Homo-oligomer: A and B are copies of this chain.
Amino acid sequence: MTQSSQAMWMVYLAGEIHTDWRDRIGIGVAQAGLPVELCAPVTEHNDSDDCGAVVLGEPCPEHDANAFWRDRLGASLNAVRTRTLLDRADVVVARFGEQYRQWNAAFDAGRAVAMGAPLITLHDASLDHALKEVDAAASVICRTTEQVVDALRYVTTGVLRRP
């Protein structure tokens, strides 16, 4: 049966922001012409950190506690974006890397699963044990962005590209 070409799939890309994995998925999705709309948190690291203070002002300037409340302002503002996009997402891809703790990615993965969105994780085998609970809740565990694109192709168009 011919698949419908109308319905777009909203795919949220959570996690690691210091590598180019989102761009690579974006290119792959575009090249394959998939009915996929990608969305993401703000991935400009400085903007993501500073946004609260820039928009609303420093919370308690020149005080030791400023960093703490500054993070609160920024993270809360980022969450307005994140929550709405997660809510719209048909599929959530969460990327975990060796660097940094990326609790944010695991937090988003937890929210996605609780909200009923299928989860695709993307990480090296070296992180398997540390991520076993997250992976157990995931529908697909990928090692490469190519696998993510292939999975999205199959899921959204029903076409399996065999090697």
* Chain A residues within CB distance 8 Å of chain B: 1-4, 6-7, 9, 13, 22-23, 26, 37-40, 42-44, 47, 50-51, 54-56, 59-60, 63-69, 71-72, 74-84, 87-88, 90-91, 96, 100-116, 118, 120, 125, 127-137, 139-143, 147, 150-151, 154-156, 158, 160-163
Contact call B160/A54, Cβ cutoff below 8 A: yes
A121 to chain B, nearest CB (A): 10
* Interface of A: prevailing SS: helix
How many copies are assembled? 8
A87 to chain B, nearest CB (A): 8
A43 to chain B, nearest CB (A): 6
